[in-house]
Chain A
Amino acid sequence: MRILSVSAVLFLMILLSSFHFMRQGGLKETLERGQKVYAATCIACHQADGNGSPPMNPPLVKTQWVLGDKKALIKIVLKGLKGGEIEIDGDSFYNPMPPLESILNDQQIADALTYVRKSFGNNASIVSPAEVKAVRATIK
């Protein structure tokens, strides 16, 4: 009985996660959605090629701010920046970044960050909505 219920729970979990995966679609769909979020929310400052607009808005190309710690990256998107925190190769970037926690949902942030981490010559791992959700929970 006990084994049965454990396997039932397991089965349900697998079913749910595969359903979840189907809803998310593959990487191609994620990148397409991410590009849309990027075009609507990020492109004004960070530009279509991700090069930003130095010395105001930082580039997203091959920088540790984008390729490094995912939690820190997610937090920047959720909470924004005052300006001046980002330094790349000795250059500071002074325009503030608006907090997007109430504008974008977990899925949109995950899609946009996956797009950024896999575009402009970047090739880092994907960001999942669960990862965004986890960071969001710690900063509320």
Chain B
Amino acid sequence: MKYSKYLLIFFTASSFLVACGNDSTKAKSGPLPAGDDPRLVLPDGFSALRIIKDLGRARHIAVSANGDVFVKLDKLYNGKGIYRLHDSDGDGIADDITGFGDYKGTGIAIKNGYLYASSNSEVFRYTIDESSGRVDEGSKKRIITGLVDQGQHNSKSIALDNSGNIYVNVGAPSNMCQEQDRVKGSPGKDPCPLLETAGGIWQFRADGQDQSYKESVHYATGLRNVVGLDWNTSSNDLYVMQHGRDMLFQFYPELFDQQSGANNPAEEMFRIKKGDDCGWPYCYFDNEKKQKLLNPEYGGDRNKVGRCEDKNHSILQFPGHLAPNALLFYTGNQFPEKYQNGAFIAFHGSWNRSPEPQAGYFVVFVPFKDGMPSGDWEVFADGFAGPNINKAEYRPCGLAQGPDGSLYVSDDRNGSVWKITYKK
């Protein structure tokens, strides 16, 4: 009896503390200690500062010339879907936070005085004064509309080139274009009708109005779902990271044991030329055979290549299911030379490796030369998952480069953003 009384006091006190904790997160910035964030594991000379937390589903991010960070949310926070994070006292922590835009989504980018942001079916453009970070909300213009959104794989990620074009990913609302999605034994549709309006990249004019498929260039096809993409200004090409298919072990245990199903297919990086077909749903990259092969839904047996021979081949492969959610070519000069012009990739982390342990939840670096990978990939920033890899505390989702060459990483589990800097 006495015990239960103490318990009651304990629970009341702890729920009070929890309530307080929630309240403080609604303040303009969380009670964050300025300085290094010991959570993140980084190479020597790098340090991370968490500039915001608890924003919720923080997807992609962009940084304006004055250093303000813009975060696109896939779940509204206090009714807003875009947040501007400003540091007014110079300690690095965002202390002036303002929201606008009443739509959820993933994509955000800043280019030549405009801020672009996407819902799950549209893209909007605003004018931004990059020297102050001020966005003119009244200038909001819908440049793209009517893109496929059926829930599954509905993020619309965006990238801009230097010729006035914007590239938008439309993910396929499907795992494998089967007659019955995600049902074991259901055959793959051939040809896959989803590819007409999804499973690819569409190019639009960045200054257009209400453009849809009719006004677009179907830039690339055969891409199941791309969340991370970037325009490489030195090679002048679009690069994309594809999320590979799910359920190889569950659907084809005779071809893939539990471990092979966790490691396959590869998560792939493609260098895209206009008109490319990267092969989904017919093809996948087998990490053990080191080859682009026919998918079992289309007659594949882990040996047959068939029509995959003629498809665009990826330039880099990663272990299965790591979920690459952001790609950024580093053009700054704050980081050491090896990082310059190389690629950073934020991996959101897996689910379809289960019952094998999950993996990912890190930011990877890949050195580049002449538009192609010039060395092995390596983990650049780790520690997001915390002590239990099967219950990740933070999930990397967005990347952006600051005007001083710092690298920003967003997380859509908690809604944190870190600024990573280098000092000799």
Query: Which residues of chain A in 91-125 are interfacial with respect to chain B, using CB atoms and an 8 Å cutoff?
Result: 91-92, 94-99, 103
Q: Does A39 count as interface, using CB distance less than 8 angstroms?
A: yes
Which among B57, B154, B180, B246 is the interface contact of A98 at CB below 8 angstroms?
A: B180
Q: Does A49 count as interface, using CB distance less than 8 angstroms?
A: yes
Contact B152 A96 (CB under 8 A): yes
Complexed CA–CA distance, A94 and B390 (Å): 21
Contact A57 B351 (CB under 8 A): yes
Q: Does A88 count as interface, using CB distance less than 8 angstroms?
A: no
Q: Does B355 count as interface, using CB distance less than 8 angstroms?
A: yes
In terms of DSSP, what is the predominant structure of the interface of chain B?
A: loop
Contact A43 B183 (CB under 8 A): no
Chain A residues near B (Cβ < 8 Å): 39, 43-45, 47-49, 51, 53, 55-57, 80, 83-84, 90-92, 94-99, 103
Query: Which residues of chain B in 377-419 are interfacial with respect to chain A, using CB atoms and an 8 Å cutoff?
Result: 390-391
Closest 3 CB pairs of A and B: A53-B351, A94-B151, A98-B183
Closest chain A residue, CB of each to CB of B388: A49
A to B CB contacts below 8 Å, 19 in the list: A43-B354, A44-B246, A44-B250, A44-B354, A44-B355, A47-B354, A48-B354, A48-B355, A55-B57, A56-B152, A57-B351, A80-B183, A83-B150, A84-B151, A94-B150, A94-B151, A94-B152, A96-B181, A97-B182
Contact A51 B183 (CB under 8 A): no
Q: Does B75 count as interface, using CB distance less than 8 angstroms?
A: yes
Chain B residues near A (Cβ < 8 Å): 57, 74-75, 150-152, 154, 175, 180-184, 246-247, 249-250, 351-352, 354-355, 390-391
Given contact pairs A56-B351, A92-B151, A47 touches B250 in the complex (Cβ within 8 A): no
Contact A39 B75 (CB under 8 A): no
Complexed CA–CA distance, A107 and B241 (Å): 43
Complexed CA–CA distance, A99 and B183 (Å): 8
A43-B354, A80-B183 given; name 19 further pairs at CB < 8 Å: A43-B355, A44-B249, A44-B354, A44-B355, A48-B354, A48-B355, A49-B391, A83-B151, A83-B152, A83-B181, A90-B75, A94-B151, A94-B152, A96-B181, A97-B182, A98-B183, A98-B184, A99-B183, A103-B184
Given contact pairs A44-B247, A47-B390, A48-B390, A98 touches B354 in the complex (Cβ within 8 A): no
Which residues of chain B are within 8 angstroms of A80 by Cβ–Cβ distance?
Answer: 183
Which residues of chain A are within 8 angstroms of B180 by Cβ–Cβ distance?
Answer: 98
Complexed CA–CA distance, A128 and B390 (Å): 32
Which residues of chain A are within 8 angstroms of B183 by Cβ–Cβ distance?
Answer: 80, 98-99
Contact A47 B351 (CB under 8 A): yes
Which residues of chain A are within 8 angstroms of B249 by Cβ–Cβ distance?
Answer: 44
